[in-house]
Structure 1
């Protein structure tokens, strides 16, 4: 897997990774030099710490590498930190870099927030696991009637009906001639939401209950580890990237099975 720019703490290491291993760099370096209107030898001097990119050149490379807005901002911070002539200025840009990494670690910054519910409806939606479960279950054709949902979840039809009535009033579900269907409205909680704790608790409780009926397709992992402070950030990034990759796969996957995803990685310091 190619490394992200956010895996690098200085811009030269990033450029070395982008230009490839020694012996394979000529084409990329030549293209970079052409974009910067300079000689390929200048690129070599930059990589070997004998010269610096200017901010104008860094901005050109943002376009050359097709950086996103977030990536472009981070790349410019890396260049400015390495160009800084005093310790205080380097520390200033390092603080900006650290803040950019912290923002990126927030899940909604990685995946993008989607929220159409009022605060009142959010409080109801996240008060019980059943609302989210029914909401997503309706994407499966075989589960689009009250009876099918009742059998699947082993819940009374009355409870199913009450939950569906709420989802309809919230605009998340529509009643059809043959049952129910989800609308295009989507929601996602941010880390700063007052409902996030309840949401996580709902699904951790369901995860614990699933242990009594574990299937071959289930996966439960628990472990206590010790690692460096720097690697804590790396592990969290790996898990967030796994979530992003999974979401991309799930997006185009045929709706056949209803599953829950719950990942925990946390500091045990009390």
Structure 2
């Protein structure tokens, strides 16, 4: 497993790991292009014969697909290593230590809890995007910002912002350029005050999907009249079908991202 930037004390050691790992041929040339320098200059930096400027470090953040917190930490590492006096190095090290301390508190909190707090649940159900991106990370081909943005037709900025929040609350974890599903869980019951928002989010997405329905999708709507006895019978059949679907999904390989909704309700408001 690739180490994160937070496990390094010097930025050049981290860069060597990211750029010289197996299977990354051409990475030095690519990051050099991003920073507007020659590849030989990147080699000089890695050999500790030169330093990155802050502008070059900022460009490196983009190339390395850093989150905002990773970017901040990386820039502090660069400033610490560039510092010309011990007091200045200590100044930046203090800031680095504060970030590491904060991350440790968060890690301990997530390790002790299997459910999200109220604030995080509120954000998660605020729109369809957090849950969609969260579940999408279970699919190996949808684990980078670029792949997720393209597949969902969202901006890279929105995807990164969402992934950062999901990572902070333990629903995904970052490994190199990829975001993998975390161990935190989130569930919602019919008595939750978020259930209405949850259903509304996905019904709205179902309506939008009608505009580009394909043969793999299914949409069915009908108004019917039937006996009270058959109402119960159909509800039982739908529940059995739902249980069967859940069992299939549970053991299914993660390759596609679908939304499953089911609606069967009375139109006679006076009966409610």
- The residue that corresponds to 1:184 in the other structure is 183
1:128-207 counterparts in 2 under 5 A?
Answer: 128-207=127-206
Q: Which runs of 4+ in 1 moved over 6 A?
A: none
Q: Aligned-pair distance for 1:188?
A: 2.3
Q: Aligned-pair distance for 1:185?
A: 2.7
Q: Aligned-pair distance for 1:187?
A: 2.2
- The residue that corresponds to 1:127 in the other structure is 126
- Number of equivalenced pairs: 156
Structure 2 segments unaligned to the other structure (5+ residues): 1-113
Is 1:214 the counterpart of 2:194 in the alignment? no
Q: Is the 8 A contact 2:170 2:183 kept in 1?
A: no
Q: Is the 8 A contact 2:143 2:179 kept in 1?
A: yes
CA distance in 2, matches of 1:177, 1:169: 16
CA distance in 1, matches of 2:250, 2:166: 21
CA distance in 1, matches of 2:234, 2:118: 33
1:72-87 counterparts in 2 under 5 A?
Answer: none
Calculate the aligned-residue CA RMSD, in Å: 1.2
Q: Is the 8 A contact 2:128 2:202 kept in 1?
A: yes
1:1-270 counterparts in 2 under 5 A?
Answer: 116-270=115-269
Cα deviations by residue, 1:56-87 (Å, 9 ceiling, x for unpaired)? xxxxxxxxxxxxxxxxxxxxxxxxxxxxxxxx
* Secondary structure in 1 matching 2:141: helix
Q: Aligned-pair distance for 1:124?
A: 0.5
CA distance in 1, matches of 2:225, 2:169: 44
CA distance in 2, matches of 1:240, 1:146: 36
CA distance in 2, matches of 1:227, 1:168: 49
Structure 1 segments unaligned to the other structure (5+ residues): 1-114
Q: TM-score, normalised by structure 1?
A: 0.56
Q: Aligned-pair distance for 1:178?
A: 3.4
* Secondary structure in 2 matching 1:175: strand
